[in-house]
Amino acid sequence: MKKIEQNKKQKRERILKAAQEIFQSNGFISTSMDKIAEQAGVTKQTVYRYFESKEVLFKSALEAQRLQASNDFLKALDLEDTIKALNTFAEGYIERHLSKEHLANIRLLVSEGPMVPEITRAFYAVGPNRTKTRLAQFFKDRFHIDDAQFEIDVFLNTLVSMRMTLLTGLDAPPSSAKIQEHSAKGVKVVLKLLDL
């Protein structure tokens, strides 16, 4: 990679890192492009050269965060054994959705999403919609069900049902054993809904 291209890539990564940190600590509304530029060590014009608006930068920061995080839970759906695939998916999904970064994003969406709905749309475009699309294909391929949206919603909501107590600070993060137990129960729930 040429030096100029490498410098551009590094600037973009610094901007995204600064944006992730500031959006999570200050919220979307209170975050300015000036603050992001200052933390990234670039000018505001440089930020706008890479990202045309704060909303585009927010979505790009979410996408970068998604790529940095483990998304192996989606790869689990490629496993040959259907029950093992669902259990492995469920465990990874729970771990990802109870991560510190994800919880910070949820807090931001709950507090500011009603005032700035574009951040909620950006969040869903980056994560939940992809997961639901992949699960819908899995249910079609493995169970021959064309429309399992209700069952998918119940399954995903069951998996993250332990998130609320973490969001509010009532509980500490669950152990791996607790996540495995919760995952297995979630898989049983969705299989029962599918009459399997």
Q: What is the pLDDT of residue 117?
A: 92
Residue 161: what are its φ and ψ, rounded to 5°?
-65, -20
Q: What is the pLDDT of residue 84?
A: 97
Helix (H, G, I), strand (E, B) or coil at 106: helix
Per-residue pLDDT of the chain (196 residues; tens, 9 = 90+): 688 888 888 999 999 999 999 999 999 999 999 999 999 999 999 999 999 999 999 999 988 887 777 667 999 999 999 999 999 999 999 999 998 888 988 999 999 999 999 999 888 887 788 899 999 999 999 999 999 999 999 999 999 999 999 988 888 899 999 999 999 999 999 999 988 7
Instruction: Tell me the angle at which helices 54-68 and 33-40 cross, rounded to the nearest 10 degrees.
Output: 50
* Number of residues assigned to the chain: 196
State the residue range of the domain holding 25.
Answer: 3-66
Q: What is the pLDDT of residue 71?
A: 63
Q: What is the pLDDT of residue 68?
A: 75
What is the count of structural domains for the chain?
2
Q: What is d(CA 93, CA 89) in angstroms, rounded to the nearest whole number? A: 6
Are 86 and 142 found together in one domain? Answer: yes
Are 108 and 137 found together in one domain? Answer: yes
The domain that holds 19 is classified in CATH as 1.10.10.60
Q: What is d(CA 121, CA 59) in angstroms, rounded to the nearest whole number? A: 9
**Look-up: residue for tokens 């505001």?**
44
Integer angstrom CA distances of residue 40 from 19, 28, 114, 129: 8, 17, 29, 30
**Helix, strand and coil in the chain, % to nearest 5:** 75, 0, 25
Are 31 and 17 found together in one domain? Answer: yes
Please give the model's pTM, rounded to 2 decimal places. Answer: 0.82
Residue 98: what are its φ and ψ, rounded to 5°?
-110, 5
Q: Minimal CA–CA distance to 102: which of 159, 151, 40, 184?
A: 159
The conformational region for residue 53 under phi > 0 = left, psi -120 to 50 = alpha, else beta, is beta
Q: Minimal CA–CA distance to 133: which of 149, 120, 119, 121?
A: 149
Are 12 and 28 found together in one domain? Answer: yes
